[in-house]
Structure 1
Amino acid sequence: MVDIVLLFLTLAGQVRAKFTCKSDGHFGDENDCTKFYHCANGRAMGGFCPAGLLWNQATQQCDWPSMTDCDFTIEKAKQLQVESPTILYLTFDDGPNLGTTELLDALKAHNIRATFFINDDNLEITEKRNETQVLENANNLVRIVAEGHMVADHSYDHMKHNSDGPKDAYQDISNDISYFGPRNAAPALYLLKKAGFEEATINFVNYTLNYFVRMPYSNNWRVGLDNGRAISADCLECTVPASSSRKAVKIADVLAKEYGVQVFGWDMEWSMNFNTNRIKYGGTPMFMRLGTGAHSKQKGKIVLLCHDIAFRPHEITGSLSAQEELLEFLDLAKNAGYQFKTLDTYYMDEPQTQSV
């Protein structure tokens, strides 16, 4: 189903091969179902299957998981220890929303804290969002804070005042920038005060909601590090037309330079189908992708983008629900030695060598 020649030309060289070739040909990695090797003249060149596919040794190509005999276990994950200490920052966008309850249950089961980039218009009743859903969203926002997760700014309405998608998402710099910061923070803070949180907690949430931003549709970075090295990156292809992307870049500049905001993008994404709002592949393939060379902005740190709604109750390929796929991913990542943090400490974090 995937042209192995094209796949090889695209992906070869992305990994350093540590594979012993016994003959020429293509071979899968015994510990990583997303990895394969092309052996020629005794030399191995490594590559990775596209997102959602695994290596099928029988057909010598990348294939749908259901067509392969890949059986990746916790025991194998323990063998596949990360080569150097690595921090994984789980981030979830567009909540609180459908799926947030399932996310929180999974994170609580593993005692893992994550960063939630929220849109506070989820606390409003609309034609598409009834009172029951708004109440669940409000309860989940309270739960996010109560269970020690970080809350950050994803704009008040995900730029819906301009567009319900990446096309023309950014139109007027001065107006669009007003949807970040206090406008998005105020409803959340009001809710937390009504819920009886202590002043120190409310002050911290006020801080993170005003000074940590992810821009909708844009993988832009403006992060200043304590060691003097700054991260600045733009995604000019994230929104269309080009004028929208240029405005998004300008907004990132203003947020950082004039308001002192830390603008975070992402290093890797747990891809979802935006037509069905479902994850495209399960926990095991996502875990395997962590080792594919994410081009992380900081060595030893991976910021992973996910979306709350992709983990709402439903079935995906096979018998596992999206929540069960997340639980499997967390199992594998923890056993492989990944450390979990929230973005408020990104600048200061140093990956720690863990004792075996």
Structure 2
Amino acid sequence: MNVSQDTYAEKRKGNKKRFFILLLILLIPIFFTGFFVGKSFSAPKKPIEPEVIEDVEAPLVQEEQKPKEEEQSKEETSAVEKPTGKVVYLTFDDGPSKLTDEFLNVLQEHDVKATFFMQGKNLKKEYLQESVKRAVKERHYIGAHSMTHDFKKLYKENQFVPEMRETLELIRDITGESPQLVRPPYGSAPGLKNEQIRQQLVDAEIKVWDWTIDSQDWKLKDNPNQIIENIKLGTKDEKEIVLMHEKTQTLAALPEVIKFYKEQGYQFAIYDESDHFVLNFLNDIRL
């Protein structure tokens, strides 16, 4: 009896040992499989970072693009379109004056641009300088018409170029623009017959414009109809430059002058420094 009981006990111990070994063999693969599977499930956490960075950088890219778009739109706005076909240049001398804003109102109402030749003695008057700034803001051109408008000082005392330089500097100081076009008081003939003065203009890179039509408005007080008639009779070519002044009678005539040129199929243009053409009574191609 004792021998059989010992044998039975040993068998039981052997069975238990084999059971635990078998269980261990089965559990080892399960343990390693779970370990690697767990690591594979935790891996997707890292790709989240690029998405966060992308969200932060996106507005910065948009902000950097904005100034370029604004600069491009400014360039397009400031660019002067070259006219084609029949073209008329309306020009006004002797400003700025108390009438400048009224001239600008009429031009704005009819969507027309013009070229102004202003005197330095008037540009110095601070109460008129806002009108000058407005003219440039509304894309009109401002050139110089001397400081004094005095024939003796300009032509006999050889002060034409110094006065024009001073006037151009005043325009620059007021408006920020740097024009290079001037209109000689009383015209380049006889004023600029002096070769020395013309050479001074060439050296200073200053351009000169006279006119093709003289409205004679300065001597037609209270007679705007005659101004209109003079302009109509003088209009013969496909390119016309009309001389007018900042006068009450001219202001009254201006709407009809604009209407006439529109009916005749003319485009309205302003002086363009990048597309200069010779317009002086002396036919000096350097000017």
Report what 2:215 is aligned to. Answer: 270
How far 1:269 sits from its partner (Å)?
1.2
The two structures have a TM-score, normalised by structure 1, of: 0.48
Structure 2 unmatched ranges of 5 or more: 1-83, 278-287
CA pair 290-171 structure 1, distance change in 2 beyond 3 A: closer
CA pair 336-246 structure 1, distance change in 2 beyond 3 A: closer
Read off the aligned partner of 1:341 and give its amino acid letter.
A
* C-alpha distance in structure 1 between counterparts of 2:88 and 2:185, whole Å: 21
Is 1:123 matched with 2:123?
A: yes
Report what 2:89 is aligned to. Answer: 89
Is 1:148 matched with 2:139?
A: yes
Equivalent of residue 233 in structure 2, options 259, 271, 289: 289
The two structures have a TM-score, normalised by structure 2, of: 0.59
Residues 271 and 281 of structure 1 are in contact (CA less than 8 Å); yes or no, is this contact kept in structure 2? Answer: no
SS in structure 1 of the partner of residue 108 of structure 2: helix
Is 1:106 matched with 2:99?
A: no
CA pair 261-329 structure 1, distance change in 2 beyond 3 A: same
Q: How many residues align?
A: 194
Q: Where is the strand percentage greater, Structure 1 or Structure 2? A: 1
Residues 116 and 152 of structure 1 are in contact (CA less than 8 Å); yes or no, is this contact kept in structure 2? Answer: yes
* Matched-pair identity in %: 24
How far 1:176 sits from its partner (Å)?
3.4
* C-alpha distance in structure 2 between counterparts of 1:187 and 1:286, whole Å: 33
* C-alpha distance in structure 2 between counterparts of 1:92 and 1:217, whole Å: 14
**Aligned ranges 1:181-330 → 2 under 5 Å:** 181=165, 183-192=166-175, 202=176, 205-206=177-178, 208=179, 211-218=180-187, 220=188, 235-236=189-190, 246-247=193-194, 250-256=196-202, 258-274=203-219, 281-282=225-226, 284-291=228-235, 293=236, 300-308=238-246, 310=247, 312=248, 322-330=250-258
1:191-214 Cα distance to aligned partner (Å, 9 max, x none):
33xxxxxxxxx2xx21x2xx2111
Residues 87 and 301 of structure 1 are in contact (CA less than 8 Å); yes or no, is this contact kept in structure 2? Answer: yes
CA pair 279-154 structure 1, distance change in 2 beyond 3 A: farther
Equivalent of residue 176 in structure 1, options 153, 160, 176: 160
SS in structure 2 of the partner of residue 180 of structure 1: helix
Read off the aligned partner of 2:270 and give its amino acid letter.
T
How far 1:187 sits from its partner (Å)?
2.8
* C-alpha distance in structure 2 between counterparts of 1:152 and 1:255, whole Å: 14
CA pair 153-168 structure 1, distance change in 2 beyond 3 A: closer
Q: Where is the helix percentage greater, Structure 1 or Structure 2? A: 2
RMSD of Structure 2 on Structure 1 (CA): 2.8
* C-alpha distance in structure 2 between counterparts of 1:289 and 1:344, whole Å: 26
1:66-98 Cα distance to aligned partner (Å, 9 max, x none):
xxxxxxxxxxxxxxxxxx932101111111114
